Each structure stands twice: as structure tokens, then as C-alpha cells.
């Protein structure tokens, strides 16, 4: 399942630190490959952010690889399964770098389902 360019264009990225700090007030779910934080934003936009701490890996190259994998999984899963008006932050874990891509996408869907933010079709 790959999202089209038009579906991916519906996602906007969180960039400001204040937006990431507000995410503490929302829901959080942990899976093997990632941690998902969710919070309603009061708009119709789907916003997404990515973070990987130095605690996960000291190497910037490996942290960036983890972020790229999270971006790819989010681009495939969120346009189809994310509810509008919600902010999503994906936090990378050590297993994110080596976990198979299909499992990473399934982890994201599972987290959406468990938090109750899976879009009802």
C-alpha cells in the first residue's frame, strides 16, 4: 500500500518545539517499532512530527535513517488511516532501524487502533 502524492500532500509537518511539547497532553501508545503520541489540534489538518533522541543512538547518521523510515511509514499509513484534526508524533526506537518495513507500518496501524484515533471508513 503506497499513498499517492495527493494523499501525502494532506499531511503537514510539525516543526516548532512548542508543538512537540503540547503533545505531552495527548494520548501515547508504545509498540515494538515506534512510539506514537496523539493530540487533537482543533483544525481539519493532519499534522505529523518525527523525533529520535540521542538515547536511541549516538550516531546522527543512524538517527536520520530511523527518521526516514518513520517518514516513509507515516506517508503510507496516515493518509488512509489517520483522522483529520489530529496531530501525530512518531518517536523512533532502537528497533525501528532494523524492523521490517511491513511490521513498522503494522505497528503504526496498531497504535492508531489502540488509541482510538483510527479513521472510521
Average pLDDT over residues 39-50: 89
- Any domain includes 121: no
CATH assignment at residue 25: 3.30.230.10
Burial code of 58-78, b = ≥16 C-beta within 10 A, e = fewer?
eeeebbebbbebbeebbbbbb
Q: Crossing angle for the helix pair 101-115 and 60-81, nearest 10 degrees?
A: 60
- Any domain includes 30: yes
Partners of residue 48 on adjacent β-strands: 13, 88
Domain that holds residue 85: 5-115
pLDDT band at 12 (very low <50, low <70, confident <90, very high): confident
- Any domain includes 120: no
pLDDT band at 3 (very low <50, low <70, confident <90, very high): low
- Any domain includes 86: yes
Q: What is the pLDDT of residues 68-105, one digit of tens each?
A: 999 999 999 988 888 888 999 999 999 999 999 999 99
- Count of helix runs (H) and strand runs (E) in the chain: 4, 5
Amino acid at each position: 500500500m503506497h499513498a499517492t502524492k495527493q494523499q501525502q500532500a494532506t499531511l503537514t509537518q510539525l516543526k516548532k518545539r512548542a508543538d512537540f511539547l503540547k503533545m505531552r497532553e495527548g494520548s501515547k501508545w508504545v509498540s515494538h517499532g515506534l512510539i506514537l503520541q496523539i493530540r487533537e489540534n482543533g483544525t481539519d489538518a493532519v499534522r505529523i512530527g518525527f523525533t529520535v533522541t540521542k538515547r536511541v543512538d549516538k550516531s546522527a547518521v543512524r538517527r536520520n535513517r530511523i527518521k526516514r523510515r518513520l517518514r516513509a511509514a507515516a506517508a503510507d499509513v496516515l493518509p488512509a488511516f489517520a483522522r483529520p484534526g489530529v496531530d501525530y508524533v512518531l518517536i523512533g526506537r532502537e528497533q525501528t532501524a532494523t524492523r521490517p518495513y511491513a511490521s513498522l507500518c503494522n505497528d503504526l496501524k496498531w497504535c492508531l487502533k489502540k488509541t482510538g484515533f483510527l479513521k472510521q471508513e
